[in-house]
């Protein structure tokens, strides 16, 4: 198996975990974990950058969708 094939499979596995996580953990926690995990597996090992991008993306999602458009993201069953 080549590196590209293993990255593709890993991306699919992470994506399935993300979709499942949205149901139980809600959009924000699942998206944060998805972004962090996906960036890590794609080769970015700078923790500060991973956290900054993940938190920044969530801030943008929240600002645009929940505050500006007034649409709520899924909260999850456990939260």
Q: Average pLDDT for consecutive 10-residue bins of the chain (79 residues)?
A: 90 95 93 96 94 96 92 83
pTM to 2 decimal places: 0.88
Task: Record the tokens describing residue 13, joined without a space.
Answer: 């596995």
Per-residue pLDDT at 79: 66
Per-residue pLDDT at 11: 94
DSSP secondary structure letters along 42-74: TT---HHHHHHHHHHHHHHHIIIIIIIS--PPP
Distances (CA, A) of 58 to 1, 32, 34, 40, 79: 34, 7, 11, 17, 17
In what helix (H) or strand (E) does residue 10 lie, and over which residues does it extend?
Answer: helix 3-25
Q: By the 8 A CB rule, do 10 and 18 touch?
A: no
């Amino acid at each position: 198996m080549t590196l590209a094939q293993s990255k593709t499979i890993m991306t699919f596995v992470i994506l399935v975990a993300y979709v499942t996580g949205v149901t139980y953990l809600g959009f924000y926690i699942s998206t944060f974990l998805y972004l962090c995990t996906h960036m890590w597996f794609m080769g970015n090992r700078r923790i500060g950058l991973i956290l900054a991008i993940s938190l920044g993306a969530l801030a943008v999602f929240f600002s645009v969708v929940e505050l500006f458009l007034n649409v709520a993201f899924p909260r999850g069953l456990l939260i």
